[in-house]
């Protein structure tokens, strides 16, 4: 039956030639699961946040949540509202104070406990953390550990390679130097996505239209390598090579400048900063807080500039 399906797909497939290809499949579809010592003997429920839909299946249970970025923080709170105990394990925290060894439990029922990274699984229902503490009688593990870049439809060997969740080499995090007729749109992480996607698409379109002259293949490769070496010296792991955070605005403005376009309005950067601070300061309620308008942000920015000038 499988051979028959493959034959039908081959018979229905169509080959064509294109001058350029934009790869826009995103990077939130292929879950990343870490390899942890002893995890194969855990007998409880194991899921990734990609497949999480409702906290109800964890009602009255003891749950381990691995990873404390956006998904981990949100899911631990949802699950904590119905679970018995929740252990949130992470390498780092959005607010450094949250990772203090004596940090109190948090959440609606004050039953969510922050823990460092996992050292190993112990038996079928327990884990030991790097600080020696142990969580026992666990019923479930929810991995909030992000996603892998995955391009099953592309034969990328010799053009780009995916290693430790970094795509190398990509000029401007978009174009393979040896084949710039392919553009990977939307690779950077921890960014405001849609404005950047549009900027990247504009840049790629102008490159393909011949309105932007790219450097030589060697020069593009040197720029990518220099960026990696710079981040390596700063201690940035390879898997975070495409993480931009606050650096996204300089990157966006650079692409816009190359497109001979105006930079994004400055209030966008201020909004990004303010939203981040609000989330860290009010993790329980930030979603329910009305956001300021664009005019509000422009006024706040003007006041901040005036205060800085004094």
Q: Look at the block and give the residue holding tokens 């749109």.
A: 185
| Distance, CA of 185 to CA of 162 (rounded, Å) | 15
Question: Which pTM value belongs to this model?
Answer: 0.87
pLDDT tens for 5-53 read: 666 666 677 889 999 999 999 888 899 999 999 999 999 999 999 999 9
**Cβ-based neighbours of 110, under 8 Å, separated by 6 or more:** 104
Q: Look at strands 62-66 and 45-48 and give their pairing.
A: unpaired
pLDDT tens for 148-203 read: 999 988 887 778 999 999 999 999 999 999 999 999 999 999 999 999 999 999 99
**Tokens representing residue 263 in the block:** 């930079």
**Tokens representing residue 305 in the block:** 């500039």
pLDDT of residue 11: 67
The answer on pLDDT for 290 being more than 70 is yes
pLDDT tens for 191-237 read: 999 999 999 999 999 999 999 999 999 999 999 999 999 999 999 99
pLDDT tens for 53-81 read: 999 999 999 999 999 999 999 999 999 99
| Distance, CA of 240 to CA of 252 (rounded, Å) | 18
Within 13 Å of residue 44, how many CA atoms lie on the same side as its CB?
23
**Tokens representing residue 37 in the block:** 């010592």
DSSP state of 283: T
pLDDT of residue 5: 65
Within 13 Å of residue 52, how many CA atoms lie on the same side as its CB?
24
Radius of gyration over every alpha carbon of the chain, rounded to an integer in angstroms: 23
| Distance, CA of 197 to CA of 188 (rounded, Å) | 10
The answer on pLDDT for 274 being more than 90 is no
Tell me the pLDDT of the chain averaged across its residues: 93
Give CA separation, 196 vs 21, 238, 246, in Å.
18, 22, 13
For the chain, the distance separating the N- and C-terminal CA atoms, rounded to the nearest angstrom, is 76
Residue 256 near residue 265, CB atoms below 8 Å: no
């Amino acid at each position: 039956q499988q051979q028959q399906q493959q034959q039908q797909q081959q018979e229905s497939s169509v080959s064509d030639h294109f001058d350029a290809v934009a790869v826009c499949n995103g990077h939130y579809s292929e879950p990343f699961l870490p390899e942890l010592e002893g995890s194969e003997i855990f007998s409880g429920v194991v899921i990734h946040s990609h497949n999480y839909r409702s906290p109800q299946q964890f009602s009255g249970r003891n749950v381990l949540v691995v990873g404390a970025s956006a998904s981990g923080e949100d899911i631990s709170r949802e699950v904590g509202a119905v679970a018995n105990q929740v252990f949130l394990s992470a390498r780092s925290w959005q607010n450094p104070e949250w990772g203090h060894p004596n940090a109190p439990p948090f959440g609606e029922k004050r039953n969510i406990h922050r823990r460092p990274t996992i050292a190993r699984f112990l038996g079928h229902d327990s884990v030991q953390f790097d600080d020696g503490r142990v969580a026992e009688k666990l019923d479930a593990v929810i991995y909030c550990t992000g996603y892998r870049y995955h391009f099953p439809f592309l034969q990328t060997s010799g053009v780009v390679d995916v290693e430790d969740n970094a795509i190398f080499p990509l000029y401007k995090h978009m174009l393979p130097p040896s084949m710039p007729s392919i553009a990977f749109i939307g690779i950077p992480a921890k960014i405001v996505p849609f404005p950047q996607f549009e900027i990247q698409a504009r840049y790629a379109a102008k490159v393909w239209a011949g309105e932007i002259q790219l450097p030589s293949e060697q020069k593009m490769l040197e720029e990518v390598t220099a960026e990696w070496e710079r981040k390596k010296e700063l201690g940035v792991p390879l898997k975070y090579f495409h993480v931009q955070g606050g650096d996204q605005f300089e990157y966006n403005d650079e692409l816009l400048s190359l497109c001979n376009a105006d930079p994004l309005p400055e209030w966008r950067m201020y909004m990004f900063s303010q939203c981040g601070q609000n989330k860290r300061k009010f993790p329980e309620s930030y979603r329910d807080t009305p956001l300021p308008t664009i005019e509000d942000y422009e006024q706040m920015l003007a006041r901040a500039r005036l205060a800085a000038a004094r």
